[in-house]
Structures are given as structure tokens and as C-alpha cells.
Amino acid sequence: MKNLKSWLVEYSEHHADPHNRALHRLCVPATVFALCCAFRAIPVGDALWNPASLALLGWLAFYLCLSWQLALGMLMLFSVMYSAALLLETAIGGALPLFAALLFAAAGAAQYLGHRREKKQPSLLRHLRLFLIAPLWQLADFYRHMQIPVGGLASSR
């Protein structure tokens, strides 16, 4: 398996344009939240164990293999997103799948426009695991700005 730095460098190659990066700062979390809502809308399990919680745990396991510091940050972010998905499910009920689909489509379209501006193909088309790296890439950038050390990374990417 690649190391953290290799994944982040590969992802960065497709996100150098400042406008594309800005779109991704908004749309990657929206995409993750949309997926969380979509998986939560699958009527299997209970509030704790269901497709959404299992998908997020799988995602975290992948992150833990790369960096425990970033995995801890993602655990906090995923907890907020999962809680918000539960609250949204309570508020809108059966409309949750539609909400998830619309949010996913809007965020995906905006990211596509960013890649068109950058004139580079979206990285996830080359390697689906880069889709899993997108939130970690953003969190690693935040950690760097906040000067939070992360094992496996130099001071700059």
C-alpha cells in the first residue's frame, strides 16, 4: 500500500489551481455528507450499526493505516457528519435519499467544473481510492496550516 505522502502528492497533482482547490474545500465535505446521508437512508440496522456507520468505520480504518493523527481528526469530522445525518433523517424522513442525491450531484458538478478550469481529469477516474483520499488531503492541509504534526509527512507537500 502507498504511504500517506504518496497519496497526497498524487491527489495534489490534480488540484493545483486555486479555484479548483476552493471548490473542493466546499464540495468534498458536501460529497462525504451526501454519501453519509445516502448510506443512512438504507433501511437496515439501527442508529448505531447501519450502512452509514459501517462505511465510515471502513473509511477510518483506511485512514488509520496512513496516519493515526489524521484518522483522529477524521473521526471527529465523521462524528459531526453522522450526527447531522441522523438529525436530518429525523427532520425530513423519507426525503433523505433525494436530499443525498441532489447534494451529491451538485457537489460533483461543481468539482467537475473545477477540473475543467484546471484542464485536468478528476483524479478519482484514475484511481477510486483517491476518492477516499480527498477528505484526508483537506485535513492534512488544515493540519499543516495549524502546524499540527502528522507522521509520514514533511513540512510541505
Which pLDDT belongs to residue 156? 43
Residue 20, sorted as left (phi over 0), alpha (psi -120 to 50) or beta, turns out to be alpha
CA pair distance 21, 24, nearest whole angstrom: 5
- Closest to 29 in 3D by CA, of 126, 141, 153, 146: 141
Which pLDDT belongs to residue 123? 65
Side chain identity at 74, as an amino acid letter? M
Structural domain boundaries of the chain? 4-145
Give me the phi and psi of 44, to 5 degrees please.
Answer: -135, 135
CA pair distance 117, 135, nearest whole angstrom: 21
Report the percent of the chain where pLDDT is more than 70: 93
Spatial neighbors of 68 by CB under 8 A, at least 6 apart, are: 151
Which pLDDT belongs to residue 126? 66
pLDDT-based confidence at residue 20 (cuts at 50, 70, 90): confident
State pLDDT tens for residues 98-131: 999 999 999 999 998 888 887 777 666 666 788 8
State pLDDT tens for residues 73-92: 999 999 999 999 999 999 99
